[in-house]
């Protein structure tokens, strides 16, 4: 889409949203199989076929109407949300070595973010997101190390896990001390 087409489309956004444009059957045309596949590929979608009880579908249609979307997009939204909420359970399938490799990547990401955060403007969206990402990476890496340690039989890998968990503990202890000192006006200790 060129810039002129994009500008025209943006001007018509409200008309599309209100369905004054794009909702007329007389102007609709089916897309080719190739175009349909290309769209699915671009959106990362895969066709799925399964059976659901009719009363459930009827309730989904009603709930979708309340959401202002079709029932199939609502089903996609529900499934995506459930997977996001439960994907952490997949870590149980990792071997200790795989868990440690994943944890090491997250730990490295947390360290980079920790160094970057002070350079960002206080209360900026960028800093708030970086702080959230930092906390998530540190927490997830610690959980992975803990789970790997419980299943690990390799003494070298166990020592590595203990070291990383100790480093995470030191980071958290220092952050708690800094927060306490900041709250109660004590001078910060140099790191």
Look at residue 14 in the predicted model and tell me its pLDDT. 66
Residue 189 domain-assigned (yes or no): no
pTM to 2 decimals? 0.58
Residue 27 domain-assigned (yes or no): no
Q: Same domain, yes or no, for 118 and 152?
A: yes
Structure tokens at 159: 């020592």
Q: Same domain, yes or no, for 63 and 116?
A: no
Containing structural domain, residue 169: 94-184
Residue 12 domain-assigned (yes or no): no
Look at residue 112 in the predicted model and tell me its pLDDT. 95
Summarize the chain as % helix, strand, coil (round to 5): 75, 0, 25
Q: Could you list the mean pLDDT of each consecutive 10-residue stretch along the chain, which spans 191 residues?
A: 65 67 74 84 85 92 91 91 88 89 96 94 92 94 92 93 94 89 70 51
Look at residue 9 in the predicted model and tell me its pLDDT. 60
Structure tokens at 106: 């997250």
Look at residue 17 in the predicted model and tell me its pLDDT. 65
Apex CA 131: angle with CA 128 and CA 134, to 5°? 150
The total number of structural domains that make up the chain: 2
Structure tokens at 63: 């709930």
- Nearest by Cα to 17 from 69, 71, 77: 69
């Amino acid at each position: 889409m060129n810039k002129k087409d994009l500008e025209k489309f943006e001007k018509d956004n409200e008309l599309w949203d209100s369905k004054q444009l794009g909702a007329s059957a007389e102007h609709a045309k089916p897309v080719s199989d190739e175009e349909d596949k290309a769209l699915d590929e671009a959106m990362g979608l895969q066709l799925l076929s399964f059976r659901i009880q009719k009363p459930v579908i009827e309730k989904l249609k009603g709930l979708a109407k309340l959401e202002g979307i079709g029932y199939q997009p609502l089903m996609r939204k529900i499934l995506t949300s459930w997977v996001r909420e439960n994907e952490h359970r997949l870590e149980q399938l990792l071997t200790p070595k795989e868990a440690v490799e994943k944890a090491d990547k997250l730990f490295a990401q947390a360290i980079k973010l920790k160094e970057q955060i002070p350079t960002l403007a206080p209360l900026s969206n960028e800093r708030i997101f970086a702080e959230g990402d930092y906390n998530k990476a540190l927490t997830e890496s610690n959980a992975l190390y803990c789970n790997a340690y419980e299943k690990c039989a390799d003494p070298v890998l166990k020592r590595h896990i203990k070291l990383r968990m100790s480093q995470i503990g030191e980071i958290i202890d220092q952050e708690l001390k800094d927060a306490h000192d900041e709250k109660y006006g004590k001078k910060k200790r140099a790191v």
